[in-house]
Structure 1
Amino acid sequence: MASPYSDGAREKVASKLPASLRQELKTRAAQLGIDMQDAVTEAVEQWRARPAGNNPTIDTAGAESWNTWLPAGLYDAFKADCTTRDISFVQGLAQAVRVWIDSHSVSLAELTIPQYTRRIVVCNQKGGVGKTTIAAGVGQAIALGLPASTGSSKLPALPPRRTLLVDYDPQGHLTSQLGVKQIAPGEESLVTHMVERERVAGTLLDQVVPVAPEHFGDRLFLLPSSFDAFLLDSRLGSVRGPREASLQRALAPLEEHFDTIVIDAPPNLGLAMDAGLYYGHRRRNEPVGVSGVLVPVEAEDSSADAYVMLDSQIRTISLDYEVEIDRLGLVVNKFDKRKGYVATHSLENWQALGTPPVVAVVPDLKEQREAVHLKQPLLMYAPTSIQAQRMREIRRRLG
């Protein structure tokens, strides 16, 4: 079992919690800008300090499996208190969460943080355009946050966010570039949770691994690719229920643990891509432009042809399933003006498109290749490089 906390400071807690209470907890923690694990820690400590008679009894019928992390030793002390108070661990945890939510009210003026985890699907059906580079770089920039601008523009600070990178590409480049092993065939993975929901016994959270926790402050994580992903399109054909929602169903239990999920999508237009695009659709009451697709392209003709096909697929998914999929922007990647007229004219065409906008032009420089070779995140290996600056620029443009 992989735990995002590898230093032993926290331990995994497997329990149950009513779905409605879990959603309230996630929402309130987001509104206050508090990490979910920290919120639960506060809740348990607050509950332990209160007299037993002051805690409400919670209806836990139908409570669902739920995982979190607490400081080492706290859960054992909590369970001992539950035994002393003659209540189940599930009831004790539900009481703790309820009390914490009720004691951390938020005024209407403060209700500005979206209810949903932000979902950014980095996609293009053309291979070789640098989807993995952009997905990884944007995820790193979100996890690190941005300081306020001191220049004439005076842009506000963007706080660091707890971010999950999902390697949804069967080639596993994102997993390999970050020095992580792919999940072996037959083991639980994103694929099994998409196509074998009735058989999986664990949680996808068990497969999540931290990325350079010291550098990213325990805020950047990876769900590795699986060798089984090469068969995903064919296996999705036998899935019961709406196939387009299979990725959303698989990742739903992870959303409460992360502020942002960045998907490195496969380079094709098959069923897996349908599910990826659908995952990025705008959900009920979600503001426009929060979640959606980010499309890396190159400054050359074949990339433009590929974008037309991708845009057509986005339109088809939107119409068929009556959802809105926001185009967050284009990233002109691996740009090299030394390639001459074709490159410069193509860049002008991308910029003239207007909607979606070009959010950054990333030059083709050595730092990214060196970072991949050393299996290190770009913003850790070369944080002052031009490419790293462009990743922060994308983060800023996405808001």
Structure 2
Amino acid sequence: MAVPTHSDREKVVSKLPAGLQQDLKIRAAQHGIDIQHAVEAGITAWRGLGSNLSPIDTARAKSFSTWLPPGQWDGFRNDCTARGVSLVQGLSQAVHVWLDKNPSPGVQRPVIVKRVIVCNQKGGVGKTAVTAGTGEALAEDPDQLHPVRISKHFAAALTEEEDSPLDYEDLPGLGLNVLLVDFDPQSHLTKQLGHQPLPIEGDSLTKHMAGEAKGELRDLIVPVEDERFGDRLHLLPACTDAFLLDVKLSGVRAREAALERALAPIEDEYDAILVDCPPSLGLSMDAAAYYGRRRADEEPGNSGVLVVVQAEDSSADAYGLLTTQIEDLRGDMGLELDYLGIVVNHYDARRGYIATSSLNAWMDIKDPRVVGVIGDLKEQKEAVRVKRPLLAYAPRCDQSVGLRALAREIS
């Protein structure tokens, strides 16, 4: 049945098997086109075939509608009659033809491993939650759709009334191979993802950085298990010996490069490495920042520093100290060290003027710019309590959709 009108197209109502509907939705999103244009192309291709295709099981077909150019549906109906197939069978075959002609484009992988240094010398701003959530979003299944907040609208909506609408879009997962590095001796990232810190008498990242390694670093890495991440999300757990890292680094040759030397052997196994830094401005932060520098032939913005703050005054003071250290490193060592942006975390407009005015102040900073605003909601705390990844525990909560938008901003 064709029902006018949608600009220069007409609405078509029919049926299509649920599996084909889902495959069509995902594949169209992967190719960045509207479903209506995919169906239009499929019908055109089907009508051009010289022979009938094998029948498709349509016994459980469900209602399906889209918009097609005027006259295409009537012509398609006539062709179905001439070929002796039902309209639902013909439409199913047309969609199948389009899927065959437009295979999944595959994951877009960076040429040089993306290195994201998540930092702020102030504790309690949520660096760990942002590290974990961003890594989870980068690793999600590319053959499934996930709700993503449309980032160009979030700032205006969050600074208006509490019930302001936010725009969302279902997009395929990014499907990257991701390593989360717990660089904080407090081990919050390790524990939140359901793992135990490495024993102090054994091997650790600290020992690899200090030249005291007992084995291969990859042997310390553990998977973050959930079907939405496949085998794409891994964790390098922390060890409490990291409390001694600054002391150990003081006697290490080229100490700024110590983290890079430790991680270099496993870099080829990952598309992105995210480092959850401790609240420190010491030598360990120097090593982390150096690791995030732009390498030869690396595109600007592929790697760099992601600064997590809160919408309150003490975060602004800590931000000033951190950026001073980064600028000193840039100048003293001649580093090309990019800012990937600022993430305003734990935001809650209900806290009134302090929160909203602070958010506006962060928004006013144009270099680096705000690339994410993550709400202060219960789902993150619940995920921590049950030791599960947030995007697995509450994949459709506002924090999850915001973290997906953040991952796309920096990917």
Could you tell me which residue of structure 1 aligns to residue 129 of structure 2? Answer: 133
Give the 3-state SS of the residue equivalent to 2:179 in structure 1.
strand
Could you tell me which residue of structure 2 aligns to residue 228 of structure 1? Answer: 241
Quote how far apart the aligned CAs of 1:155 are.
Answer: 10
Query: Are 1:167 and 2:179 matched, yes or no?
Result: no
Could you tell me which residue of structure 2 aligns to residue 193 of structure 1? Answer: 208
Could you tell me which residue of structure 2 aligns to residue 249 of structure 1? Answer: 261
Correspondence 1:27-66 to 2 at 5 A: none
Paired letter, 1:132: T
Correspondence 1:257-272 to 2 at 5 A: 257-272=269-284
Give the 3-state SS of the residue equivalent to 1:256 in structure 2.
helix
Quote how far apart the aligned CAs of 1:159 are.
Answer: 3.2
Quote how far apart the aligned CAs of 1:148 are.
Answer: 9.4
Could you tell me which residue of structure 2 aligns to residue 297 of structure 1? Answer: 309
Could you tell me which residue of structure 2 aligns to residue 313 of structure 1? Answer: 325
Note the residue ranges of structure 2 that are not aligned, 5 or more in a row.
1-107, 151-166
Q: 2:138 aligns with which of 139, 142, 150?
A: 142
Separation (CA, whole Å) in 2 of partners of 1:331 and 1:277:
17
Paired letter, 1:212: E
Quote how far apart the aligned CAs of 1:215 are.
Answer: 3.1
Q: Which moved more, 1:243-252 or 1:205-214?
A: 205-214
Q: 1:379 aligns with which of 377, 391, 397?
A: 391
Paired letter, 1:220: L
Distance 1:337 1:222, change over 3 A: same
Separation (CA, whole Å) in 2 of partners of 1:128 and 1:243:
27
State the Cα RMSD in Å: 2.2
Query: Are 1:211 and 2:207 matched, yes or no?
Result: no
Preserved CA contact (<8 Å) 2:115 2:304: yes
Could you tell me which residue of structure 2 aligns to residue 324 of structure 1? Answer: 336
Give the 3-state SS of the residue equivalent to 1:221 in structure 2.
strand
Give the 3-state SS of the residue equivalent to 1:233 in structure 2.
helix
Distance 1:268 1:201, change over 3 A: closer
Quote how far apart the aligned CAs of 1:133 are.
Answer: 0.4
Separation (CA, whole Å) in 2 of partners of 1:281 and 1:254:
18
Quote how far apart the aligned CAs of 1:317 are.
Answer: 1.0
Separation (CA, whole Å) in 2 of partners of 1:341 and 1:156:
34
Separation (CA, whole Å) in 2 of partners of 1:287 and 1:325:
12
Note the residue ranges of structure 1 that are not aligned, 5 or more in a row.
1-111
Runs of 4+ displaced beyond 4 Å: 145-158
Could you tell me which residue of structure 2 aligns to residue 123 of structure 1? Answer: 119
Identity of aligned residues (%): 50
Paired letter, 1:306: A
TM-score (norm 1): 0.68
**Count of residues in correspondence between the two structures:** 286
Give the 3-state SS of the residue equivalent to 1:296 in structure 2.
strand
Quote how far apart the aligned CAs of 1:149 are.
Answer: 9.2
Paired letter, 2:291: Y
Deviations 1:314-333 (A, max 9, x none): 11111111111110011110
Could you tell me which residue of structure 2 aligns to residue 358 of structure 1? Answer: 370
Deviations 1:50-105 (A, max 9, x none): xxxxxxxxxxxxxxxxxxxxxxxxxxxxxxxxxxxxxxxxxxxxxxxxxxxxxxxx
Paired letter, 2:366: G
Correspondence 1:327-342 to 2 at 5 A: 327-342=339-354
Could you tell me which residue of structure 1 aligns to residue 63 of structure 2? Answer: none
Paired letter, 2:118: V
Could you tell me which residue of structure 1 aligns to residue 38 of structure 2? Answer: none
Correspondence 1:71-82 to 2 at 5 A: none
Deviations 1:335-386 (A, max 9, x none): 1112111111110000011111111111110000000000000000000000
Separation (CA, whole Å) in 2 of partners of 1:333 and 1:153:
19
Separation (CA, whole Å) in 1 of partners of 2:250 and 2:389:
35
Give the 3-state SS of the residue equivalent to 1:261 in structure 2.
strand
